[in-house]
Structure 1
Amino acid sequence: MTTPQQPASTSDEPWPVRVVSQKIGAWIGKLGWIWVDGQVAQITRRPGTNTVFLTLRDPSADLSLTVTTNRDVVDLGAPNLTDGARIVVHARPEFYAARGSLSLRADEIRQVGLGELLARLEQVKKLLAAEGLFDRARKRRLPFLPARVGLITGRASAAERDVLTNARRRWPTVDFRVINVAVQGPSAVPQIIDALAVLDRDETIDVIVLARGGGSTEDLLPFSDEALCRAVFACRTPVVSAVGHETDVPLVDFVADVRASTPTDAAKRIVPDLNDELRLIGQAKQRLDRALRGLLDREQHRLDLIRSRPSIARPLTMVDSRAAEVSALRDRAARNLSHRLDRAGAELGHTLARLRTLSPSATLQRGYAIVQREGGAVVRSPGEVSAKDQLRIRLADGELTATVNE
């Protein structure tokens, strides 16, 4: 026999609140009995009753549910149950229509032991490693000198004091932005994840440090949470993990870009030591000075060798030798020229004497004359002229003009 279905609600025929509550209760009731894992945030035992109320919080998110159970169930399964304990409950979800609230009715509670926690952490470790969250190739190098450092740690904790004091002792001007969060308990993971998101969005932050002092394995469980590991992996800013002591290795150490053994070690890794840097600068300066002096000495030696060469040491020697050669050549040229001039003068004298011997001037000097007609023709016989011809008569000391009469 089928139950008639409730007609769908409309604006004209809306469901009453009781109908909605009944439907919600029916849907939730279909879930049945389930096993739930969580962390105890609060335990309330009402005097005079056997009812115990637990606030069960998700280890990785800011979510919680109320668990109602019997005192005998708690005493049997987790007799020493305290706030912050990790438990597994067998419960059935219930919806209380009168208050419109959801809770779990538990009939069995098991407190998770350390061995079981470690086994779960090993499973999570294998899962994250298989996904590549531990890959060394993706780890980023820290900046040499960060402009600003983000620090996530407990309020007024020794870890905060160690990081700040040692970092400022190494580099006095280092700037920090500190966000204090819960570092253990059910609210630790959500607060740390929120702080990571805030610092990762801050453009002035160059590196983020997660710092916490030592503690038991249960105290350090938030730093092995899967959600926190994924949040660290997703950060764009390099992350340094400084959780616990050297022997403490939470999962966030494998995901972070740099693992520091202690908060003090983290301070040494994020900033350089000013004294060491000054010492290194001094050593570099000394090496540079030695190299420069060595270079200058080598070049000075080369210059000395060059200057010691004869052509450089006594540059006038070549000039003097060449000057002597030039002077000798000039003297030879002068003698040669003088000899040629003398010989040419003698030849010219001989030629002049012969010329004078053959010249008509010598004949004129002896009293002879040369008679020329007009036009320059020489008269050699009387028949070559006529009466009234004009004649030119050249003498040794001049000329005469004559007219032929007959």
Structure 2
Amino acid sequence: MTSTPAPNSAENPWPVRTLNKKIADWIHRLGQVWVEGQLTQINRRPGTRTAFLTLRDPAADLSLSLTCDPDLLRRSAVPLTEGARVIVYGRPDFYPGRGTLSLRITDIRPVGIGELLARIERIKALLGAEGLFDVRRKRALPFLPHTVGLISGRGSAAQRDVIAVASARWASVRFRLSEVPVQGPSAVPAIVDHLRLLDDDPEVEVIIIARGGGSVEDLLPFSDETLLRAVAACRTPVVSAIGHEPDNPLLDLVADVRAATPTDAAKRVAPEIAAEVAMIETLRSRSAHALRNWVAREQRVIDGLRARPVLARPQLLVDEQRTVVERLRADLRRNQQHRLTVAHHQLTQLSARLATLGPAQTLARGYAVVQRIDDDAPHAVSSLDQLSPGAQVRIRVADGAARAVVDSLEGSEQ
């Protein structure tokens, strides 16, 4: 009957050999695997049947030890050198005696240019589908950046070109330098770390990532997905200045501005002071000319208004209206005088007719007017029926009147 081992505890700890054996058992269960990476060290020890290599992840600061038969390296169709991208096939081995892990490989295949370009195209399609290349995400560069972050190789020509050209164009520009490896397995982690530091710096207003030209393998870090996503996540505008005009890593598509060369990046970031001063002078001259033209135009309008009679001789309008008023007054006076003359003539004619038809003229011809005055209301007598003997009457003639008493009445027959 087999006894059950006591559980691991502080009272029953495992010895190192037991732990290493258990780790080795778990790792050996993984079996054969394919792994991709970049060779950073190749050590062929003379007189031994084992070659030691180091395989590094191109996007992270991680590495793995490899072991293989030296003949495997010699049989490679392409010479293997440090920095080469490879795909290896092997089984993980854990050595309990040293507590180390390595990958015993039986096949190694260099990654060709075609495979690298195909991988870049796959990354391009993936990021393009996510919208990381959309022009609406691009941010405008500041007009006069006081501090520019520059990520480049230590003492590289790209670094010197950017600083020299930018300083010559705008002397007050300052640079925050970040010197990193720009190729090889450590390039991407270093660039990403420094990119984040510059993006977090509130004084840095724009970041330039610069490198000279190179082969497709040399420029691979600038098409790495980790770096591209880090650039897309930056809050600070990023300028890609990688290589020369034919070089087109994917960083050019993700960055806010793509510069053909490091010199072109410096020109885009730092405006040329002479050109800006000349532009200012041109704008000042144009604005002054436009202002003078506007003043002259308005002066002509004012002169035209002042030359009008109503403003040149304002009393002329009053004089003209006074003449009209005087003419109307004369017409009115003449019309009234005419109407008065006509009315006077009519009155004279009516007066003459009235005088002719009136009693005075009749009395002057020898007639008399008899009025009975003994009644309550004196009245003229026009018939004998209105008289009676003894009635008192007043007889009016042309030159006076007399009172009389009716003695008797005589009809017209008598």
TM-score band, normalised by shorter chain = 0.7 to 0.9
Summarize deviations over 1:263-309 as a string: whole Å, max 9, x none: 11111111222122112211211111111111111221122223323
Contact 1:209 1:242 in 2 (8 A): yes
Flag structure 2 segments of 5+ consecutive residues without an equivalent: 324-414
Summarize deviations over 1:77-130 as a string: whole Å, max 9, x none: 366211101111111111122221111111111111111111111112111112
The residue aligned with 1:57 is 56
Q: CA deviation at 1:137?
A: 1.6
Contact 1:77 1:108 in 2 (8 A): no
Q: Check 1:78–1:65 CA distance in 2 against 1; reply closer, same or farther (3 A cut).
A: farther
The DSSP-based 3-state class of the residue aligned with 1:286 is helix
The DSSP-based 3-state class of the residue aligned with 2:37 is strand
Distance 1:172 1:12 in 2: 72
The residue aligned with 1:396 is none
Contact 1:24 1:95 in 2 (8 A): yes
Contact 1:78 1:109 in 2 (8 A): no
Q: CA deviation at 1:145?
A: 1.6
Q: CA deviation at 1:63?
A: 0.3
The DSSP-based 3-state class of the residue aligned with 2:86 is strand
Correspondences of 1:258-273 after superposition (within 5 Å): 258-273=257-272
Summarize deviations over 1:213-262 as a string: whole Å, max 9, x none: 01111111111111111111111111111101111111111111111111
The residue aligned with 1:229 is 228
Distance 1:173 1:116 in 2: 46
Contact 1:121 1:224 in 2 (8 A): yes
State whether structure 2 residue 12 is matched by structure 1 residue 13: yes
Distance 1:121 1:292 in 2: 57
The DSSP-based 3-state class of the residue aligned with 1:116 is helix
Distance 2:3 2:165 in 1: 74
The residue aligned with 1:189 is 188
Distance 1:6 1:183 in 2: 55
The residue aligned with 1:129 is 128
Distance 1:29 1:6 in 2: 23
The residue aligned with 1:301 is 300
Summarize deviations over 1:24-82 as a string: whole Å, max 9, x none: 11111111110110001111121221321111100000000110111001111366211
The residue aligned with 2:387 is none
Distance 1:5 1:200 in 2: 59
RMSD: 2.4
The residue aligned with 1:67 is 66
Contact 1:212 1:243 in 2 (8 A): yes
Contact 1:87 1:110 in 2 (8 A): yes
Contact 2:146 2:172 in 1 (8 A): no
Q: CA deviation at 1:9?
A: 1.1
The residue aligned with 2:162 is 163
Contact 2:199 2:235 in 1 (8 A): yes
Structure 1 counterpart of 2:44, one-letter code: R
Distance 1:121 1:260 in 2: 20
Structure 2 counterpart of 1:230, one-letter code: R
Correspondences of 1:200-279 after superposition (within 5 Å): 200-279=199-278
The residue aligned with 1:140 is 139
What percentage of residue pairs aligned between the two structures are identical?
58
Q: TM-score normalized by structure 1?
A: 0.75
Contact 1:28 1:93 in 2 (8 A): yes
Runs of 4+ in 1 over 2 A off after TM superposition: 3-8, 305-324
Summarize deviations over 1:163-189 as a string: whole Å, max 9, x none: 111111221111111111111111111
